[in-house]
Chains A and B, each alone.
Chain A
């Protein structure tokens, strides 16, 4: 018959030793994966930064006008820095996935599976956001140029408004892709957009009714009194 001592101390110790024999190698593997992943992420960031600098990526982005926006965030020093940190983040993400996979527990396996299933949604949302940024940029620049050439006051405000509207739409679609509650945002967007249109209509109808009348008259009659009659060509 086993002594009380065995049952109180030796058995629990053996059980802990058995469990540790199973868990410690996993923990060590997870730790090693994280250390190697962290190192790889650092190297990837450094390499990407150097490569982007060599390719004059900052200058390229500067032409699109994103540079100032990136720098204004205060988080990234330059577009190359943003690119390098993005790659570092990706490497970290995959490192964590590897580490979770290495843990080989039902919970971690479930987490990894759910994340893998979610990847297409993340990619789709990312693409929608990227497209939103590009399209909003192009449309707002076109609006700015048209407003300046029409000599409208507040041309930059108009361009900024256009940009915000397009980006809001992109964010709503991206959230929809991520299955994150986008309905409140969509409703807010619709209310704000409708409000702006309504406000503009009232402002044009009341504040600029003479201009509206003249404009409509010119459209109906097909002629506008030209102050200048010289030809540019």
Chain B
């Protein structure tokens, strides 16, 4: 793994030798926000882990806005106003460029390698564009690993009802249904994990796939669950971050996240086919009510995207959707305004049929994922229209309801999966 380290980083790691906690912050042009994140992490380490040796690693993708300078120059903030006692060890700080495919996953890979090199017991990663991070987040993400034997701690946030729609509409209910653990924010962005899990991640040969980009979050979560690591969640309050991911557009983000999830279904087929129920994952921290930022959503634009998609991509959809699903989709999608609606069952079947087509390469995988974007926008518009007047609790109940539909339709997934497999085997044998 040392080939991942530039000479300067190698020398720095030799000086540090070992650490108990490594906190990683991936970045790309985040000079505006990363200072606050570094300060919060520094204070968190000093306040909650004063006797542990800790290292903050900024893994940067070649920022041009002096992000790395901001990291190194950020005040530690660990002053008397915040700390009851002074830490035994001050945390080390490293800012290094990462190697490999440009993306969040490659940045994480360098952080995993640093954690392994320093033989860290716990590792925490946090996004660099967070505005709501507090020192307490570091404790909540690292302590269950250090003191309670957990291997993976996923975040649990309160988010606006329109926020995190890929999470709410696909990734959360599917992770729960397939892998049997109710991790509410499986692609949250902030995680705590053990040194042994970081080492396991490094063993995998995925670093030239979408895992090296936005696929990293779901890959980490599913790998931890599917390979039997002990998983928990930490209540972090509200997640407030910069309005837009730099350089991230919906199509590529969707493709990377959903594509990585579908690819994991291929890797862990024997795991997800086994069970039919799920269990709650322990939640650390003290849940409290918190205000979330108001968001604006243009449902008309989304509905138009879905309608155009169904009209223009019909030929592509006919390659992987069943005739019944395609007929239903066509009939639902052409209703305008408030009447627009994509029912749960139809949505779930479309996703399951797409996952099967992805597995058996019924059509080019990239084309398949891209063609799902208009359907996803349609489903998001449908969800937004449905919960316009709902409060947070009602929205959670609605997402829970969708999860139940995913579970009820799981036999349809296995049945479709087997049918397409049989077809493929037959074609090969002939």
Chain A positions near chain B (C-beta within 8 angstroms): 54-56, 59-60, 62-63, 65, 68, 138, 141-142, 144-149, 151, 155-156, 226-233
Inside 8 A of A60's CB, which chain B residues have their CB? 427
Q: Is there an interface contact between A144 and B312, defined as CB atoms closer than 8 Å?
A: yes
* A54 proximity list for chain B (CB < 8 A): 430
Other A-B contacts than A59-B423, A148-B309, A156-B312, 15 sampled, CB-CB below 8 A, are: A63-B363, A144-B313, A147-B312, A148-B313, A149-B250, A149-B370, A151-B301, A227-B301, A228-B295, A228-B298, A229-B296, A230-B160, A232-B253, A233-B164, A233-B187
Q: Which residue of A lies closest to B374 (CB)?
A: A148
Within the complex, the shortest CB–CB distance from A143 to chain B, in Å, comes to 11
B319 at interface by CB-CB < 8 Å: yes
Q: Compute how far the CA of A148 lies from the CA of B304 in the bound complex, rounded to whole angstroms.
A: 10
Q: B48: CB under 8 A from chain A?
A: no
On whether the beta carbons of B165 and A232 are closer than 8 Å, the reply is: yes
Are A232 and B362 in touch, CB under 8 angstroms? no
Task: Answer whether A228 and B297 are a contact pair too, CB < 8 Å, given A56-B430, A151-B308.
Answer: yes
Task: Label chain A's interface by main secondary structure.
Answer: helix
- CB of B193 within 8 A of chain A? no
Residues of A within 8 A of B257 (CB): 233
10 contacts between A and B (CB under 8 A): A56-B426, A63-B319, A148-B308, A148-B313, A156-B312, A227-B301, A228-B295, A228-B297, A229-B296, A233-B164
CB distance B309 to A231 under 8 Å?
A: no
Contacts of A142 in B (CB 8 A): 367
Q: Contact between B316 and A141 (Cβ–Cβ < 8 Å)? A: yes
Q: Are B253 and A233 in contact (CB under 8 A)?
A: yes
| Contact A227/B296 with A151-B308, A233-B214 known, Cβ cut-off 8 Å | yes
In chain B between 214 and 254, which residues have their CB closer than 8 angstroms to a CB of chain A? 214, 217, 241, 243-245, 250-251, 253-254
Instruction: Determine the chain B residues whose CB is within 8 A of the CB of A151 once the complex forms.
Output: 301, 304-305, 308
Bound CA–CA A226/B295 (angstroms):
12
Please, which residue of chain A has its CB at the minimum distance from the CB of B316? A141
Q: B13: which A residues are within 8 A, CB to CB?
A: none
Q: Which residues of A contact B316 (CB under 8 A)?
A: 141, 144-145
State how many angstroms separate the Cβ of A73 from the closest Cβ of chain B. Answer: 17
B296–A228 touching, CB < 8 Å: yes
